[in-house]
Structure 1
Amino acid sequence: MFYSPIVPQGGRPLTAMPRSFGIAVQRPQPGWLIVDLGADLFSPRWWCGLLTLFALTASAALLAPGLEPLPGGRPAPLEPVQLEQWQALAIAPLSEGSDTGLEMLETKAVRPLLSVPRRTSLSLFATLGASEGIARLLLRSGAAAGDAAETARLIAGAGRAIAPGTSVAIILGEAGASGRRVQQVSLRAGLDLKLTVQRGGGGLALVRTAIPIDTAPLRIRGRVGGGLYWSLRSAGASPEVAAAYLQALATAVEVGSEVAADDRFDLVLANRRAASGESIAGPLLYAGLERNSGAAVQLLRWPVGGRLGWVDAANAGRPAPSSAGLQWPVQGRITSGFGRRVHPILRFARMHRGIDFGAGWGAPIVAAADGQVVRAGWAGGYGRQVRIAHGDGLLTSYSHMSRIIVDAGGAVRAGQLIGYVGSSGLSTGPHLHYETIRNGVAVDPLSVRFASVRPVDAGEMQAIRTRLKALLGA
């Protein structure tokens, strides 16, 4: 029978649906070696798949190559010539053996020298040693013996001793059989004099050059802040000047309790300054303190009774109070103050009952005031110690000494030598541990006045005022 297709209006003819439409596609069955171990657990097919997995794993382990290190070897060491060339190309610190800047291999631009040219002159600087003279310095610098001796003779004729450590500028000429000829030698024979030995038509001659010196005193001012001593050091005062200022100031005020942070220190010291810039500080001339509460301190160094002492320029003619006429026991700077601190050896906090002076081994120690020695010997952690009673319950103690030269029971005068600085007992280095004890209680040595301020005659008042105005620039 013939069926004509039905054609919808305006469309294509309809076709018959295939018979396979709507029937699920059948997946192919896996082979016997492919087993899903997640299905049909413990069935014969499952056990077969598990055994097959074990067999394949064992075969892979047996047939796999061994895990051995890859074959290799150490590079052959470089020959010395090769190493030198590599170092020339490398950039590394000299401390690690680098040797940069070497010449590379020769090129046609390199022309060998038939002989090494000799230097016609040699300029150098040398420092005069502690046990040598000018002649020996020139000899070790390469000068001829005759020129060295003649130069030393000319410099000695200047009448100035050349201090060890002086820098000497030397110019030497061509080398001869006995050394190089001296062309010029220059050095400073002092702050105000330069000596030059130079060769002229008639041989070596000495030339003196005077250097202008400015002797204007140096003034240092500043705020006390957290500590007077360290504020002085920060303002530019040397340890010796700072110690001298504290020693002078202690004649008028209790440094440990009467000096406030907002007070301002004022000191003037002698100073010599050369036109070339060098300077040498001299002794302290004036010690002042501007106080917010209390009278200002103006202490002037002035000769009284044939000796230099401190006079109260603000209240001249009236003696300032003084405790016992004490003075500084050693020339040195204060390295540790009075109060609680961490002990440098025991490493725990404890009371520091005195002050420490940093001084060299063997520096002289003097009695701070008149008195009687009550102890002179070993005192445990204090090492060699001297204690002096000054009356009215006041004692001074000097510890860590290297040598004691007084005996217990003997009388001493202020400024008398009693021993030498050392490091005996519990000590980290040479220094003086100094204590002041009043009625059995340790007090800050800086609070004890070190010397009495001397009264002056009324006739000297005008001279004192004139000197004070000159120092302060008023």
Structure 2
Amino acid sequence: MSGNMAALAMSQAISLGRADGNAEAGPSWREWLAQIDLVPDLGDHIGSAIWWRGLATLTLLCGAAIATFPGIQPIAVGGAPALDTADFNEARGQMIVPQALGGDTGRHMAATDAVRPLTQTPERPQIELTATLGSGDSFARLLERSGVGSSEAQALANQVSGAVPLADIAAGTRIDLILGRRAARTMPRPVEALAMRARFDLRIEMEREGGRLVMRRIPIAVDTTPLRIRGRVGDSLYRSARAAGAPPEAIQSYLRVIGKQISIGRDMRANDEFDIVVDYRRAETGESETGKLLYAGLIRGGQPKLSMLEWQKDGRSQWFEASGVGEQRGGMARPSNGRVTSTFGMRRHPILGYRRMHSGMDFGGGYGSPIYAVTDGVVTIAGRHGGFGNYVKLAHGGGLGTGYGHMSRIAVRPGQRVTRGQVIGYIGSTGLSTGPHLHYELYRNGHAVNPASVTFVTRAALEGKELAAFRARIRSMTSIVPGAALTPIAPRQIEGPKLGSLADVASKRADGGL
């Protein structure tokens, strides 16, 4: 209350003082100028007198700034004078500059009158290099790319082919070369020495003696004991076999082979043992290589539950069980890729004009489309055969046979053995036919039956001496001690130059010893 009273008394005193001095006088010019807002907010009261006055003020200030702009002029700055050539070279000798920019470090002595420029740079007396044979490459082309003349490259290829067929040299083989001094700059360098591992069991080294290259064949002892791997299946056959040392390719082949006989997920137990035998070779120089799967077995309770061995039968390699029964080939292949245009049964013949039995199935197709054997068999007829035109008949055993008519061309001969899916002819329109198509028949004991009612299942079997040889091979596989192929072998002393002989040749030639 006392504060409010004091404020009121002060205001009354001020108003009274003005009344006493000049009651009619207005505000002074300073007060009036202080009340003018020269920079109003142009975002408020748009269009009012205050807004227009603010816009005029802004325009005036911008115009004044533009009118009084002095422009841009560079300012001269004084500094140390640039180095002359002599001083720069003196400083450059002590710089650290990247080599990519031509840097040099340290002081260098200037050339004297004793220095004479060379007319041409001298050549190296020898060049040592290593070339790798690529896939699809040839031995002669590899030498030519390495700097060997075409005539000498071809002569070397012919010389090497006398020791080992060039096709047997595997892609990725490394070839060590020493190229000697050439007689002129326009001539290729001659080969002074060559060394390579031509085959897993053979090394070839060549050295120039008396003006010609002398080749040495260095045989390498190789142990060909197959590698047998056994172990418990456990939770995962693949992981268990990998832990036992089996290569991934062999495990995949093993799973494919036994997967055709049993269900791996349903029939295999954790306590079963896998038995894998793979082709394995070890060289006395320490290298080893693993080949294809030779034997696939499964052991349960200490007794073989499954034994599979790859065997050649009728010129075809397939897997057989220990009993001598081969892998099952089920299902009947489609004789043509065309659609079925007529089925088995009674129909009106398109040419003869009356109803009669259609004893097969017709497949449409373009003229010259291939015709396939539905399963393995032997050709009994291949030639013209009545209304069938060009006709092929196959016997599949067990009283079953198939016939293929109206061919434009026959691709087999009588007595020939064919396999499932093999091309035996081509679609045509020979015989009683209104257009190109295949007439396909299926016979049981000489009588035509509906082809859609039969599914072929073929199983090859071994008999007699072939079965005895097959079982002897299984006994030899199962008699291999697991891991015996990994037993260290004593290296044999190799006559002639060793693997590092090219370095010796180079040093001898550099010293003038050769």
TM-score with structure 2 setting the length: 0.46
Tell which structure's C-alpha radius of gyration is larger. 2
TM-score scaled by structure 1?
0.49
Higher helix proportion (structure 1 or 2)? 2
